[in-house]
């Protein structure tokens, strides 16, 4: 026994070292961003990315951007404050670049150089419409006036390539499609954005919290150093701010819950045993579970998600059951080996049932589910091994029956032992429970909307809304995905999409739409433009324009090279990479007020589809919920087979009916107080199932070793510890964590009561299975 305990102790130390190294070296970090865990699943179609993969890629790109909007009631003050703020932010480690669309000159020279050789293949929508209508006069007049305009950008080079000055109109329209920016005046205030690009490794290295802290300091300093009369206000938005806020809130919750739960369990154990030794045993068991869980997750994955961490903290509630099951055994003359033998079968069956349940999650395609499963399985196995190998090494201590908890327990136990139902009734009740649970899980309302999951941050949400409303930037991105085997077909579809969206842009339903085809028109479009320019401009107006120009106007060359969305274009404009993802082109939409109208507008374009990332991710969580529900059903089925094999049909059904009944009551109770079912509440049901199954299995197994009294007390102590841990989750500020806690707080006491009702043979007063 001592040797096995020693070896296991060494294993635990190795796991501690591994976990500490993984976390402190940055190899594995805590991630609070829900989006970072989704969309990593493998898909069968390797050529075409799924919506969620495309959403993840786009959001990952957006995650490296942040927007700060500065406003003031004087433009001079606005410029001074904006430049100072941008300079300070540029100096923060983790900032890759900072730009001020309101004050930067832009990329005119780069764009002109790129487009000028193709000027006679490019037309603005307005000029194209005029030429298509055979009305080239306004285009010609504009060309003439541009020659003499005070701020004209014409040059010798531009006139040679573009004598009708068509390119400036194309470029101006391109700018409008990119959406509003610069400086906006509204209600006597002026607003301008600062666009920040973060270094790609900022979040991966866990430096995002420090970066956000420094940005907040810079903003505070700017506001403190300004007179209130200047009306300076600063708003910020970006995934990095939301992710850090969520992670901070989640970590604070985890710390609070873990500390209070741990102290509560300490107090409980000390008050029952009046000795620190059982407490040490409990600590070792719980600690080994947590260590093994963290070590396993950090070894397998790049990091631990905050949600998995919360579940990990909850693991205390399960692993402490195993320790208590051993510690409450009477400290009589039996050897430790003999004492452990009396609970081994119960522990083993309980562990097996729980591992079966979590194993179903481990094979799911979702990283989040896999992390939770690995954490739970590794933690439970470690706790189990610790109870078997380490706890017997500690001197046994007896329960002090006159202390408060044993006395309270005795009264409750006396009451519950009167719950004696005939065997057939129990069997019927179990069947009814199982049927009711199946119906409930199928028909109870669900809500997978990701907006309802997080802690939320009203300030950030308000600021994001203000920036979106004022500048048409940030906020929930909406885009149209265009699929097609070849680049040209996608570009043509992109042009069809722009045509379809034009009325919506005009009436303000869509602020702006920008896709690859706006930068690189399709060859078909370029051919059309060439024909229009030649037929409607050159042939009619070149003779009139020629005397005004100091150059010979050349008729457009029909064999001139086309503008292509090729590697050269992507090298010159790396931003274009955000508009193409494999065989999918992206049209980004800004300030969409009616997504349904957009979907309707493009409904007839087969290769184009509106993608709302929020809806897509919500669908993904719906998929996870379905997966977890199926997993729960499989876990129940597995547990049922195990129970029937072990206890026979009726008793097996009764054993299965206990956790199922607990889940049924938890579902009903949660629904009554307004908690809807989502992936996370299903996960909470998993925990209710695992712990509830432990209770009834411990009850059932105890009679084999005549340990019914001590087992029932151990289960009672387990219940208290679980309520301490999971009940506190209900107090979390994160809605999803609170929902989990509520499910647990309802489900676990129900499982405890049902264990009495469904397993009367474990009750000392009723030895016969009637």
Please state the closest distance from residue 188 (CB atom) to other proteins, in A. 11
CB 722 within 8 A of CB 318: yes
Please state the closest distance from residue 552 (CB atom) to other proteins, in A. 11
Between 182 and 330, CB nearer to other proteins: 182
Between 137 and 507, CB nearer to other proteins: 137
Q: How far apart are alpha carbons 52 and 54 in whole angstroms?
A: 5
Give the SS3 label for residue 610.
strand
Between 266 and 573, CB nearer to other proteins: 573
Q: How far apart are alpha carbons 545 and 32 in whole angstroms?
A: 63
Between 111 and 320, CB nearer to other proteins: 111
Please state the closest distance from residue 467 (CB atom) to other proteins, in A. 16
Q: Which residues bind other proteins (CB under 8 A)?
A: 75-76, 79, 99, 101-102, 104-109, 111, 141, 144-145, 147-157, 159, 171-172, 174-176, 178, 181-185, 190, 548, 550-551, 573, 575
DSSP β-ladder status, 512-515 and 95-99: unpaired
Helix axes 613-647, 679-702, angle to 10 degrees: 10
Between 122 and 655, CB nearer to other proteins: 122
Please state the closest distance from residue 139 (CB atom) to other proteins, in A. 13
Please state the closest distance from residue 234 (CB atom) to other proteins, in A. 18
DSSP structure class, residue 415: H
Please state the closest distance from residue 616 (CB atom) to other proteins, in A. 27
Between 566 and 575, CB nearer to other proteins: 575
Between 362 and 466, CB nearer to other proteins: 466
Between 550 and 561, CB nearer to other proteins: 550
Between 174 and 615, CB nearer to other proteins: 174
Please state the closest distance from residue 452 (CB atom) to other proteins, in A. 37
Q: Which residues pair with 234 in a beta bridge?
A: 70
SS3 readout for 130-172? HHHCCCCHHHHHHHHHHHHCCCCCCCHHHHHHCCCCCHHHHHH
Please state the closest distance from residue 529 (CB atom) to other proteins, in A. 20
Nearest to 666 by CA among 745, 723, 757, 736: 745
Exposure of 393 in the CB half-sphere (CA atoms within 13 A): 19
Please state the closest distance from residue 507 (CB atom) to other proteins, in A. 18
DSSP β-ladder status, 189-198 and 95-99: antiparallel
Please state the closest distance from residue 484 (CB atom) to other proteins, in A. 24
Calculate the alpha carbon distances from 532 to 135, 498, 538, 539, 728 in Å: 11, 20, 9, 10, 71
Q: How far apart are alpha carbons 48 and 57 in whole angstroms?
A: 13
Please state the closest distance from residue 11 (CB atom) to other proteins, in A. 57
Between 192 and 618, CB nearer to other proteins: 192
Those residues whose C-beta lies under 8 Å from the C-beta of residue 568, and which sit 6 or more positions away, are none
Between 471 and 592, CB nearer to other proteins: 471
Between 151 and 673, CB nearer to other proteins: 151
Q: How far apart are alpha carbons 666 and 726 in whole angstroms?
A: 13
Please state the closest distance from residue 313 (CB atom) to other proteins, in A. 47
CB pairs under 8 A, 24+ apart, for 76-84?
77/226, 77/230, 77/232, 78/183, 78/190, 78/191, 78/192, 79/103, 79/192, 81/222, 81/226, 81/230, 81/232, 82/192, 82/194, 84/222
Q: How far apart are alpha carbons 675 and 666 in whole angstroms?
A: 10
Please state the closest distance from residue 169 (CB atom) to other proteins, in A. 10
Q: How far apart are alpha carbons 27 and 632 in whole angstroms?
A: 32
DSSP β-ladder status, 29-31 and 303-305: parallel
Please state the closest distance from residue 78 (CB atom) to other proteins, in A. 9
Nearest to 18 by CA among 393, 362, 378: 378
Exposure of 192 in the CB half-sphere (CA atoms within 13 A): 25
Give the angle subtended at the CA of 365 by the CAs of 57 and 595, to the nearest 5°. Answer: 45
Between 81 and 308, CB nearer to other proteins: 81
| H-helix segments, 507-562 | 516-519, 523-532, 539-545
Q: How far apart are alpha carbons 671 and 690 in whole angstroms?
A: 21
Please state the closest distance from residue 230 (CB atom) to other proteins, in A. 16
Between 105 and 567, CB nearer to other proteins: 105
Give the angle subtended at the CA of 715 by the CAs of 711 and 716, to the nearest 5°. Answer: 115
Nearest to 759 by CA among 437, 606, 249, 767: 767
Q: How far apart are alpha carbons 325 and 719 in whole angstroms?
A: 12
Between 144 and 283, CB nearer to other proteins: 144
Between 101 and 278, CB nearer to other proteins: 101
Exposure of 738 in the CB half-sphere (CA atoms within 13 A): 14
Please state the closest distance from residue 500 (CB atom) to other proteins, in A. 23
């Amino acid at each position: 026994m001592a040797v096995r305990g020693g070896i296991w102790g060494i294993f635990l130390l190795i796991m501690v070292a591994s976990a500490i190294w993984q976390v402190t070296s940055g190899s594995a970090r805590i991630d609070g961003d829900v989006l970072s865990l989704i969309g990593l699943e493998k898909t069968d179609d390797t050529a075409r990315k799924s919506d969620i993969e495309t959403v993840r890629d786009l959001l990952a790109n957006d995650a490296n951007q942040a927007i700060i909007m500065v406003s003031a009631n004087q433009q001079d003050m606005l410029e001074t404050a904006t430049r100072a703020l941008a300079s300070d932010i540029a100096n923060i480690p983790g900032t890759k670049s900072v730009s001020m669309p309101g004050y930067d000159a832009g990329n005119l020279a780069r764009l002109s150089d790129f487009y000028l050789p193709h000027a006679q293949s490019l037309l603005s929508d307005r000029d194209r419409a005029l030429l298509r209508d055979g009305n080239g006069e306004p285009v010609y007049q504009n060309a003439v006036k541009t020659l003499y305009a005070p701020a004209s950008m014409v040059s010798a080079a531009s006139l040679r390539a573009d004598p009708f000055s068509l390119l400036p109109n194309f470029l101006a329209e391109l700018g409008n499609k990119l959406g509003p920016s610069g400086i906006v005046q509204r209600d006597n205030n002026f607003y301008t954005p600062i666009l920040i690009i973060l270094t790609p490794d900022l979040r991966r290295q866990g430096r995002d919290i420090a970066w956000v802290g420094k940005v907040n300091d810079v903003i505070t300093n700017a506001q403190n150093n300004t007179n209130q009369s200047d009306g300076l206000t600063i708003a910020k938005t970006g995934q990095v701010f939301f992710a850090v806020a969520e992670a901070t809130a989640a970590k604070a919750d985890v710390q609070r819950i873990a500390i209070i739960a741990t102290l509560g369990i300490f107090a409980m154990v000390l008050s029952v045993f009046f000795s620190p030794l059982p407490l040490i045993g409990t600590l070792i068991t719980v600690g080994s579970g947590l260590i093994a869980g963290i070590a396993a997750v950090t070894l397998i994955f790049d990091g631990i998600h905050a949600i998995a961490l919360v579940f990990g903290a909850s693991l205390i509630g399960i692993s402490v059951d195993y320790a208590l099951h051993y510690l409450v055994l009477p400290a009589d003359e039996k050897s430790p080996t003999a004492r452990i033998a009396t609970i081994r079968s119960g522990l083993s069956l309980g562990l097996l049932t729980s591992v079966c349940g979590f194993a179903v999650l481990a094979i799911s395609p979702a990283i989040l589910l896999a992390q939770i499963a690995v954490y739970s399985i590794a933690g439970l196995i470690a706790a189990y091994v610790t109870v078997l190998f380490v706890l017997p090494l500690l001197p046994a201590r007896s329960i002090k029956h006159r202390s408060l908890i044993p006395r309270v327990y005795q009264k409750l136990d006396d009451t519950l032992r009167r719950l004696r139902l005939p065997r057939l009734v129990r069997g019927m009740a179990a069947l009814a429970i199982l049927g009711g649970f199946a119906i409930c899980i199928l028909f109870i309302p669900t809500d997978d909307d990701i907006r309802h999951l997080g802690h939320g941050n009203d300030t950030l949400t308000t600021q994001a809304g203000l920036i979106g409303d004022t500048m048409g930037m940030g906020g929930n991105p909406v885009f149209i995905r265009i699929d097609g085997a070849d680049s040209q077909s996608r570009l043509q579809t992109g042009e069809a999409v722009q045509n379809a969206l034009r009325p919506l842009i005009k009436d303000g339903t869509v602020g702006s739409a920008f896709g690859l085809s706006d930068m690189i028109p399709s060859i078909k479009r370029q051919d059309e433009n060439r024909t229009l320019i030649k037929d409607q401009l050159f042939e009619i107006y070149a003779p009139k324009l020629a005397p005004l120009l100091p150059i010979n106007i050349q008729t457009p060359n029909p064999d001139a090279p086309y503008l292509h969305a090729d590697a050269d274009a992507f090298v010159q404009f790396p931003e274009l990479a955000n508009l193409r993802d494999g065989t999918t082109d992206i049209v980004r939409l800004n300030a969409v007020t009616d997504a349904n109208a957009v979907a309707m507008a493009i409904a007839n374009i087969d290769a184009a589809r509106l993608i709302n990332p929020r809806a897509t991710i919500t669908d993904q969580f719906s998929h996870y919920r379905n997966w977890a529900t199926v997993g729960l059903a499989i876990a129940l089925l597995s547990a049922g087979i195990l129970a029937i094999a072990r206890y026979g049909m009726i008793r097996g059904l009764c054993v299965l009916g206990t956790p199922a009944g607990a889940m049924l009551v938890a579902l009903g109770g949660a629904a009554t107080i307004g908690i809807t079912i989502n992936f996370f509440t299903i996960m909470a049901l998993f925990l209710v199932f695992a712990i509830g199954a432990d209770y009834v299995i411990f009850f059932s197994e105890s009679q084999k070793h005549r340990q019914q009294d001590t087992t029932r007390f151990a289960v009672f102590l387990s219940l208290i510890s679980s309520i301490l841990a999971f009940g506190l989750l209900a107090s979390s500020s994160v809605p999803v964590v609170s929902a989990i806690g509520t499910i647990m707080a309802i489900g676990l006491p129900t499982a405890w009561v049902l264990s009495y009702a469904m397993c009367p043979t474990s009750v000392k007063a009723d030895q016969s299975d009637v």
